[in-house]
Amino acid sequence: MVDTPVGDLLLDGLWLMGIGLGVVFSFLLILVAILVLMSRAVARWGPAEPLAQSLTATAPVPGADPVPGAGHARVIAAITAAIHAYRRRHAA
Amino acid sequence: MESALTLWQSTGIANLTWRELLMLLVGCGLIYLAIAKRFEPLLLLPIGFGAILCNIPLAGIGGPDGMLGMIYAVGIETGIFPLLIFLGVGALTDFSALIARPSTLVLGAAAQFGIFATLLGALALNLVPGFDFSLSDAAAIAIIGGADGPTAIFLASRLAPDLLGAIAVAAYSYMALVPIIQPPIMRALTTKAERGIVMEQLRPVSRLERILFPLMLLLLCAMLLPAAAPLIGMLTLGNLLRESGVVDRLSRSAQNEIINVVTILLGLAIGSKLSGELFLTTQTLGILILGAFAFAIGTGAGVLMGKIMSRLTGRKVNPLIGAAGVSAVPMAARVVNKVGLEENHHNFLLMHAMGPNVAGVIGSAVAAGVLIALVTP
């Protein structure tokens, strides 16, 4: 095995390493910046509803009512009515 | 008499070469590891079976006209299977930890150092007689350091199809060995106090952020590194299916049916590359050694970057989570959690390690994109 071609290859490899790591780092650093900006923008202008939902609901139901507030109110109303009906029947 | 001889010559025993016999044993070994040791059974079992099928004498199952050969031509030569796996990975992955703490992306970048260090290692191995790795071979071997099976297969099918079998087996074997390879390196590079650092809880991430994330990532990839677009594109599509919440059926298919079907076919097709002539070479031995090297360096680089981040943030970051920067989702994060618990029984690092872990997936896909863009086979 001649030494020079391997030396050339190693130089190519070093070059590739420099460029490659540079690109990977700059790509991910730009992504960091974009994510920070995105989170700030969402916090400022985004709807307040999804955050509240993720805090309160431990397991969001897929395909649930698109307006969770209204849906919850209706569900609560239904449950309350059922409890009332049950108590009235059993108290009598 | 004549026909008896013909019959004898059509049996497997009469035609079995030592290479085929050895590869049949390798296939059985992989199946043993999958079933008895539970090493990445989802892949090693079909790979092992594929290895057995393609080494059956005379059957030619792995040849260009055989079943496995055709599956290989359709799914792996074209790069479709690893991309479909990425679709499923995207649909299975929750990027919330990363969105909540974007700085962990740096850890995912640092762990990719293993890839490029291995590239040099593979090229340096040319000094040893018997090895002859070209630049594209070295690049394909190096991606093992990304600890990401589908990325490794995608890149190897592009740059070094001859080495694909060895590279895939090395990548998946070492991913299975993450719990054994990583902890000693993590302990060696950190102090007891550093391992005990408790990190504050991650903030909740809104649905809108989770929907915007894949779109932002894809946009960045499209602008800066279109060579990585197939990998990043499928990953982000899968994630958008998951997070949009309106295509539940598609998301479930990507998470289950699609990824499962493709895993079987992918495993069999990789196994078909484990034929004696291609696998039993000194190069394979070199690839296996380089793969372990790649993993160790990547883990070390991640932990060291974790230490730097820990210093810069005033000990708010536990350097152990840097080790999760090699992808291997979610195994590497679990290992971090386990090593953290050894120091402090109440310190659960799993969610914190998921950030660098999924960052590693993005990082290795970006590194693969760079290698595809710069190295031509």
How confident is the model at residue A49, as a pLDDT?
Answer: 56
On whether the CB atoms of residues B132 and B116 are closer than 8 A, the answer is no
pLDDT the model gives residue B100: 95
Assess if residue A78 is contained within a domain. yes
Task: Confirm or reject contact between A24 and chain B (CB < 8 A).
Answer: yes
What DSSP character marks residue A61? P
Task: Tell me how close the Cα of B345 comes to any Cα of chain A, in angstroms.
Answer: 25
Check if A23 contacts B (Cβ < 8 Å).
Answer: yes
Looking at the fold, whether A42 and A69 belong to one and the same domain comes out as no
- Asked if A13 and B216 come within 8 Å (Cβ–Cβ), the reply is no
| A36 and A4 within one domain | yes
Indicate whether A36 and A76 sit together in one domain.
no
Residue A16 located in a structural domain: yes
Nearest CA in chain A to B360: A28
Provide, as residue numbers in chain B, all residues whose Cβ is less than 8 Å from the Cβ of A39: 99, 102, 209
Confidence of residue A2 (pLDDT cuts 50, 70, 90): very low
Same domain assignment for residues A39 and A70: no
User: Of B206, B245, B370, which has the smallest distance from its Cβ to A19's Cβ?
Assistant: B370
Q: Classify residue A55: in a domain, yes or no.
A: no
Answer yes or no: are the C-beta atoms of B351 and B338 closer than 8 Å.
Answer: no
Interface touch B225/A30, C-beta < 8 Å? no
A46: Cα separation from own chain's centroid: 14
DSSP A63: T
Q: Which domain holds residue A31?
A: 1-46
**Domain count along chain A:** 2
Q: Which residue of B has its CA nearest to A12?
A: B135
Q: Amino acid identity of B165?
A: G
A10 domain residue, yes or no: yes
* CB contacts, 8 Å: B138 with chain A: 9, 13
| Chain B residues lying within 8 Å of A28, measured CB to CB | 105-106, 108-109, 359, 362-363, 366
Instruction: Report pLDDT for A54.
Output: 47
Asked whether residue A12 is assigned to any structural domain, the reply reads: yes
pLDDT tens-digit profile of A26-64?
A: 999 999 999 999 999 999 988 875 444 444 444 445 454
- The residue in chain B having the minimum alpha-carbon distance to the alpha carbon of residue A52 is B206
**If DSSP states are collapsed to H, E and C, what string results for chain B?**
CHHHHHHHHCCHHHHCCHHHHHHHHHHHHHHHHHHHCCCCHHHHHHHHHHHHHHCCCCCCCCCCCCHHHHHHHHHCCCCHHHHHHHHHHHHHCCCHHHHHCHHHHHHHHHCCHHHHHHHHHHHHHHHCCCCCCCHHHHHHHHHHHHCCHHHHHHHHHHHCHHHHHHHHHHHHHHHHCHHHHHHHHHHHHCCHHHHCCCCCCCCCCCHHHHHHHHHHHHHHHHHHCHHHHHHHHHHHHHHHHHHHCCCHHHHHHHHHHHHHHHHHHHHHHHHCCCCHHHHCCHHHHHHHHHHHHHHHHHHHHHHHHHHHHHHHCCCCCCHHHHHHHCCCCCHHHHHHHHHHHHHCCCCCCHHHHHHHHHHHHHHHHHHHHHHHHHCCC
Task: Give the nearest partner residue to A30 out of B119, B220, B245, using CB atoms.
Answer: B220
Spatial separation of the C-alpha atoms in residues A81 and A79, rounded to whole Å = 5
Q: What average pLDDT does chain A have?
A: 76
Check residue A76 and give its pLDDT: 83
* pLDDT of A67: 52
Q: Which residues contact B102 (CB under 8 A, 6 or more apart)?
A: A31, A32, A35, A36, A39
Domain-located, residue A59? no
Q: Are residues A69 and A42 located together in one domain of the fold?
A: no
Q: Which residues of chain B have pLDDT under 50?
A: none
